[in-house]
A and B are shown apart, each in its own frame.
Chain A
Amino acid sequence: MKPFLRTMGAIVWKDLAAEWRSREMISGMLVFALLVVFIFNFALELSPATRSSVTAGVLWVTFAFAGTLGLNRSMAAEKDRGCLDGLLLAPVDRTALYFGKMLSNLVFMLAVAVIVMPVYSVLYTVNLMQPGLWAVVALGSLGYVSVGTLLASMAVQARTRDILLPILLFPVLIPLLVAAVKASSGFLQAIPMEEIWPWLNLMIVYDVVFISTAFMVFEAVVEE
């Protein structure tokens, strides 16, 4: 267990250090996310009346789009100077590589959410700073990066890598996104908890199922 955690830690430290230097990924995701919010503002005319019902949808579409940008960048960094081979040459558990990458992708997703949600709150005077909503963001992001890291590791190894990731990812993400949107809007509209629970449960099941699946198949994705 110790070498496993050590490898994971090394990967996360490396990703965070590299991102701290360049700030390319987070700033890219962030600017993109804010642009999407602004586009939605005009596309949907986010007036006070419609706002409360569509806020959750706008937020999750924004996260899902910005997320693919981050995932592509994060895995391309491993591929471009052959670093993926460098990782595979080391005597480490392949699954530890997956969990390391997944964890740093999760940090990037949450970092974007932490900035976008307060900005959204200010822009539209809705209060997004609710613990329940943050729980949804955490569960949703976890599920997103668990599938996303797995599929992005395949997409970067394909010829058509840039367009491939969203096409592979979104059909599989639908249950998670539906649940995340409904749970978020449940908290925003102060719907009783017993109507929100089915969504939270679905997200928990999704997270568990896909983390275990990735755990079992990741080696086949990186090992020749």
Chain B
Amino acid sequence: MIEVRRLVKRFGLKTVLRGVDFHVEQGEFVALLGPNGAGKTTFLRILASLARPTLGEVRINGYLLPQQAAAVRQRLGVVSHLPLLYGDLTAEENLRFYGRLYGLDGLDGRVSELLARVGLAERRRDLVRTFSRGMQQRLAIGRALIHQPDVLLLDEPHTGLDQDACEMLDTILRDVAAQGQTVVMTSHDLARAEDLATRFDVLSRGVIVASAAAQALPPEGLLSFYRQALRAPAQKGAA
């Protein structure tokens, strides 16, 4: 569960997030959409405990960030557009290393299970630097799931993947969502987001300008909802 109230983030004098309110229930799959520079990555980094909020309140599973960051980190998995993997370690060793950072013991079973789940069981002993972008991204998801987090954050997971790799990634994400994990994903790819998510939030110029559940989308689909959401604040400004 994620609760964000009036979140403001400034970098020096520049304000990137200007009062974001955001609420996600356990088991929801939220797609966070928005143009470049809207503050999506910054927002996700704050949820991930990697950046500090300037003002406002951020709670994940009831724990406050950044004060209770350690408790949050224990229950949180993150997939960024970088794989966060070591090229000179094998797939298996990468998972084992991160597992140890999360204080897990007896990792053999867990590692095999995850590698099978992301379809890399065959390549378990190969170095990650020999992996294609798609395989690295799948392993990155395995890495994020190693400690069975309640909340999974994904920042543009489809970036740089070809059609097949995207399909494979989507299968894994559906599988994750089916297990009742809360997922927040930023994306540029509206078609894929529409396929996966149960709710859509649009972030523009540092605020959430629109939010709709999958059932409440207009009949024309996500694209028209998204366009309308982006137009709305501009009209307000002109008036």
Contacts and interface: CB of A to CB of B under 8 A. Distances in A.
- Chains A and B touch (C-beta atoms under 8 A apart): yes
A10 B101 contact: yes
B158 interface: no
Nearest to A18: B88
A83 B51 contact: no
Given A6-B103, A14-B97, A18-B89, A88 B83 contact: no
B152 to A, nearest CB: 12
B87 A86 contact: no
A196 to B, nearest CB: 41
Interface string A5-24: 01101100110011101100
Contacts, number: 77
Contact of A90 (B73, B80, B82): B73
Size category of the binding interface on chain B? 20 to 34
The number of chain A residues touching the other chain, given as a range, is 20 to 34
Given A77-B86, A90-B73, A85 B51 contact: no
A86 B143 contact: yes
A54 interface: no
B178 to A, nearest CB: 24
A92 B83 CA distance: 20
A115 interface: no
Interface of B: 45, 48-52, 69-71, 73-74, 76, 78, 80, 82-89, 93, 97-98, 100-103, 127, 143
* CB-CB nearest 8 A-B residue pairs: A82-B82, A86-B84, A18-B88, A90-B101, A91-B73, A10-B100, A224-B51, A91-B70
